[in-house]
A and B are shown apart, each in its own frame.
Chain A
Amino acid sequence: MQLVLDDEQRQLRSAVRELLADHSDVRSVVDGGARYDRGLWRRMADLGLTGLVVPEELGGAGAGHADRCVVLEELGRALAAVPFLASAVLAADVLTALGDTEVLPALAAGEKIGAVALSGVTATERDGGWVLDGCAPFVLSGDVAEVFVVHTPAGWFVTAEGRRRALTTLDPTRGQAKLEFSATPARRLEHADPGAVLERVRDLAAVALAAEQAGGIAQVLDTIVGYAKVRVQFGRAIGSYQAVKHACAELYSTSERAGSLLRYAAWAADHDPDALPLAAATAQAFTGPAYFQAAATGLQLHGGIGYTWEHDAHLYYKRAKSSELLFGTPGEQWARLADRLDRVP
């Protein structure tokens, strides 16, 4: 197993970090009313990041999941307001697993944004085709998606129609929508084992989200450590107080351990499919609550400025809480891990 980045991955990390430093504009979304950071998304598409793990024959870059996790960590660090998780992870992974050649190339190229609905929708065969009915309640980036990939008891479907209702979200950097289908025509994506696709996609999504979260923890740590070095109270830098220093040390420990679980899960996604389900469940169950704890601590250590709108601490706090609940509550994540452990021989 490989738990450290190779040279190419380090280069990728620098390139993405530079891109985000120059072009990520979270405040255009938080304060400016944009739904997502269009300028950044366009640049990411130009660099081939939107189709990173999609095979080359389907229009992607054919890279590994460990590479994509490097990108996701940076997106999480910068709190980038782009529909990467919904489109370049969830939708792209489903369509890749199903071998779709119709819409996947457009998603991989970043020309279209995809979103995935996993529950609440049924499919019926009608007039030689299929229609969808029902309501998917919390669809990630469903507010900006142009293609909906829908999981139903009858398998996987894709459609560009359906009624969307953008939701108000806790995390202002990432939209969600309610999707309603009423006899909505959809194309069926044939697969012998749709359930297996669902499991694989869930595992990959858990790893991807853990990468974003691990990046968030690292950024929260860097920010508070930088602040603790310069903020003076009672005549000395607050970082010299044990109460602050020790909290930062715990954050570092959390960051290093979450990063280690992530590296292993990312490696398993590329190299050990049998180990992936347990590794993914472990990384996600650990990292979700850890990120929220880190973000809350980072906000606290900033004091009054941390609670102020113009400071980004609250954005990390909101992203962390939202991400912690995105694929199931912490209780459900731990229970999922416990179930995975039952299956270990």
Chain B
Amino acid sequence: MTGFREKVRAWLAANVPGDEELATAKRFQAALHDAGLAGITWPKEYGGQGLTAAEQQIFDQEAANYDLPTSVFRIGMGMCGPTILDLGTAAQKARHIPPLLRGEEIWCQLFSEPGAGSDVASLQTRAVRDGDSWVVNGQKVWTTVAHLADFGALLARTDPDVPKHQGLTMFLIDMHAPGVTVRPLTDMTGRAPFNEVYFADLRLPADAVLGQVGGGWAAAVTMLGHERVSIGGFVRKRHDPLAHANLAESARRYGRDRDPVVRVELAKLYAAERALTLFNARLRQEAEAGSPPGARGSVAKLAGAQLQQQAVAVAGLIAGPHATAWDPDDAAGDELALAINQTPSSSIAGGTDQIQRTIIGDRILGLPREPVADRDVPFRELRVGTQRPA
């Protein structure tokens, strides 16, 4: 184990680049794979390393000392890849997993729609069988990195005559195929990391189905489970202005580090950050001992979002007016503003805080579910979002 840590440490020290350009990111991921450090716990036959959660933890610990340029691969590595490994055919795994690990192909997740955000199963994008293939029409939205993606995991309705959860199917689609149009969408930070995606008579082969036809909801639940662990996994970037260590440093810089209020709030932030880090480490140790986290990933996701909000409050306490206006060439001002403006996304993306609490209540604590109005109604007769299905 010591040998593995030394290897990771030396490799990262020699290879982490300074920017996050797409070409740099792809080169870095390829090099990571060549060094035997990509897909650490993934099976060897598909290009992974076949090692344990312990090695992954060592890698994460060492990687936390750097800002790795890997965020563009996060949806593929954190969600699509694990779901393909869970549900895919041998051919699907062999086709998709190795290039994903080598950083050759970027993935996106095509779930959310204008009328179906948290209520994913109300989606209206249709896939209609035509002989051996499928024809897809509809629209997705808030699709992260779709503008860069080569492949996507698409959830579509294949049977509108059954209740909403039963008529869904998941497909693996080529984002460059005719019939796919991606339109970047600007978020509240002013950047455009997510998109609208339109499907107009997109034709899919029969082997694009991931899992079972009509089994899309189960596949989505599998992927959402991976997503919560991935989002909640919480590895702070080294220079994240909301990390406790960086906020403590900025308190020293602004001369606020002896202020008793600042000291107490920083201590509270440290405790919350530690609690979440240790909770995640405990989930990994439990998984290693044979009990996977399941819905407990929702705790990590929820606590992570709350931690972001707490950190924004502390950042404001420390920076004061410096958080409101700064010299145009002061990168620190830009970074803090971006962090403040990005914070709401952690409470929304991947399921809102409210949805996470409901998941914890229903699936972990076994509390009775809220009455559901649409469980047994054919999708065709439902009202969804703010509209009626076509």
Q: A245-B361, A252-B360, A261-B274 are in contact. Are A236 and B367 (CB under 8 A)?
A: no
> Does B275 count as interface, using CB distance less than 8 angstroms?
yes
Chain B residues near A (Cβ < 8 Å)? 248, 260, 263-264, 266-268, 270-272, 274-276, 278-279, 281-282, 285-286, 289, 296, 299, 302-303, 354, 356-358, 360-362, 364-371
| Residues of A251-269 contacting chain B, CB below 8 A | 252-253, 256-261, 263-264
Among B248, B267, B285, B371, which residue has the most Cβ atoms of chain A within 10 A? Answer: B267
Task: Judge whether B361 and A249 touch: CB under 8 Å.
Answer: yes
Interface pairs (25), CB distance under 8 Å: A2-B285, A3-B278, A4-B282, A4-B285, A225-B366, A225-B367, A229-B368, A236-B368, A237-B367, A239-B367, A240-B369, A248-B365, A249-B302, A253-B303, A256-B279, A257-B276, A260-B278, A260-B279, A260-B282, A285-B271, A286-B275, A335-B260, A335-B267, A338-B264, A341-B267
From A4, which residue of chain B is reached at the shortest CB distance?
B285
Task: Give Cα A242–Cα B248 distance, bound, in whole angstroms.
Answer: 37
Assess whether A282 is interfacial by the CB under 8 Å rule.
yes
Option from B278, B360, B371 in Cβ contact (under 8 Å) with A253 = B360
Q: Give a binary string over A218-246; 1 marks a CB under 8 Å from any B CB, 0 the rest.
A: 00000001001100000011011110111
Give the residue name and chain of the A residue nearest to B369 (CB). Answer: A240
Given A264-B278, A282-B271 in contact, is the A225-B365 Cβ separation under 8 Å? Answer: yes
Bound complex: CA of A1 vs CA of B280, how far in Å? Answer: 13
Residue of B248, B263, B275, B371 touching A257 (CB-CB under 8 A) = B275
The smallest C-beta distance from B210 to any residue of chain A, in angstroms, reads: 30
A-B pairs, top 4 by smallest CB distance, nearest first, are A245-B361, A239-B367, A257-B275, A249-B360
Q: Which residues of B contact A245 (CB under 8 A)?
A: 357-358, 361-362, 365, 367, 370
Residues of chain B within 8 A (CB-CB) of A130 are: none
Q: Taking A252-B360, A261-B278, A337-B267 as contacts, is the C-beta distance between A4 and B367 under 8 angstroms?
A: no
- The closest CB in chain B to the CB of A228 belongs to B367
Closest Cβ neighbor of B279 among chain A residues: A260
CA separation between A268 and B296, bound complex, in Å?
25
B361 (CB) vs chain A CBs: closest residue: A245
Bound-state Cα–Cα, A264 to B264, Å: 22
Residues from chain A with Cβ under 8 Å of B299 in the complex:
252-253, 256-257
Look across to chain A and name the residue whose beta carbon is closest to the beta carbon of B356. Answer: A249
Contact A240 B371 (CB under 8 A): yes
Q: Contact between B302 and A253 (Cβ–Cβ < 8 Å)? A: yes
Contacts of B267 in A (CB 8 A): 285, 334-335, 337-338, 341
Closest residue of chain B to A285 (Cβ to Cβ) is B271
Tally of A-B Cβ pairs under 8 angstroms: 122
A240-B370 contact in complex given A249-B361, A334-B268, C-beta closer than 8 Å: yes
Q: Is the CB of B266 within 8 A of A338?
A: yes
Q: How far is the CA of A236 from the CA of B369 in the complex (A)?
A: 10
Q: Are A250 and B279 in contact (CB under 8 A)?
A: no
B270 to chain A: which residues have CB within 8 Å?
A: 282, 337, 341
B265 to chain A minimum Cβ distance, whole angstroms, is 8
- Smallest beta-carbon distance B124→chain A, Å: 26
Task: Let me know if A331 is at the binding interface, CB within 8 A.
Answer: yes
Interface of B is mostly: helix
Question: Given the complex of chains A and B, what is the CA–CA distance between A152 and B281 in angstroms?
Answer: 41
A335 touching B279, Cβ below 8 Å: no
Q: Tell me which residues across on chain B come within 8 A of A335, comparing CB atoms.
A: 260, 263-264, 267
**Closest Cβ of chain B: how far from A223's Cβ, in Å?**
12
Do A258 and B275 touch (CB < 8 A)? yes
Determine the chain B residues whose CB is within 8 A of the CB of A282 once the complex forms. 270-271, 274
A229 contacts B366, CB within 8 Å? Answer: yes
The minimal Cβ–Cβ distance linking A186 to chain B, given in whole angstroms, is: 37
Provide the residues of chain B in CB contact with A285, threshold 8 Å.
267-268, 271
Give Cα A334 to B356, complex, Å: 29
Specify which chain A residues have a CB less than 8 angstroms from the CB of B368 in the assembled complex. Answer: 229, 236-237, 239-240
CB distance from A178 to the nearest CB of B (A): 31
Least Cβ–Cβ distance between A3 and chain B, in angstroms:
4
Known contacts: A249-B365, A338-B263. The answer to whether A261 contacts B271 by CB under 8 A is yes
Rounded to whole Å, the gap between the CB of A220 and the closest CB of chain B is: 13
Inter-chain CA distance A338–B260, complex, in Å, is 9
Contact across chains for A246 and B361 when beta carbons are under 8 A apart: yes
Kindly state the separation between the CA atoms of A286 and B272 in the bound complex, as whole angstroms: 8
Residues of B with C-beta under 8 A to A228: 367
In Å, the complex CA distance between A337 and B367 comes to: 37
A151 to B240, CA, bound (A): 45
* A246 and B357 in contact, given A240-B369, A253-B299 (Cβ under 8 angstroms): yes
Task: Judge whether A337 and B271 touch: CB under 8 Å.
Answer: yes
Q: How far is the CB of B321 from chain A (nearest CB, A)?
A: 24
Contact A260 B275 (CB under 8 A): yes
**Distance of A285 Cα from B248 Cα, bound (Å):** 18
Smallest CB separation, B275 vs chain A (Å)? 4
Residues of A within 8 A of B303 (CB): 253, 257
Query: Smallest CB-CB separation from A279: which chain B residue?
Result: B274
Q: Closest CB of chain A to B304's CB: distance in Å?
A: 11
> Who on chain B is nearest to A1 by CB?
B281
Query: Which residues of chain B are within 8 angstroms of A257 by Cβ–Cβ distance?
Result: 272, 275-276, 278-279, 299, 303
**For the complex, what is the distance from the CA of A282 to the CA of B263, rounded to whole Å?**
14
CB nearest neighbor in A for B360:
A249
CB distance from B263 to the nearest CB of A (A): 4
B196 to chain A, nearest CB (A): 31
Check if B271 sits within 8 Å of A286, measured CB to CB.
yes
Closest to B364 in A: A252
> Shortest Cβ distance from A161 into chain B, in angstroms?
41
Question: In the complex the two chains form, what is the Cα distance from A337 to B289 in whole Å?
Answer: 32
A103 to B265, CA, bound (A): 43
Report Cα–Cα, A248/B356, bound state, in Å. Answer: 12
Does B361 lie within 8 Å of A4, measured CB to CB? no
A225-B367, A338-B263 known; A249 vs B282 contact (CB < 8 Å): no
Contact A249 B357 (CB under 8 A): yes
Contact residues in A for B357 (Cβ distance below 8 Å): 242, 245-246, 249-250
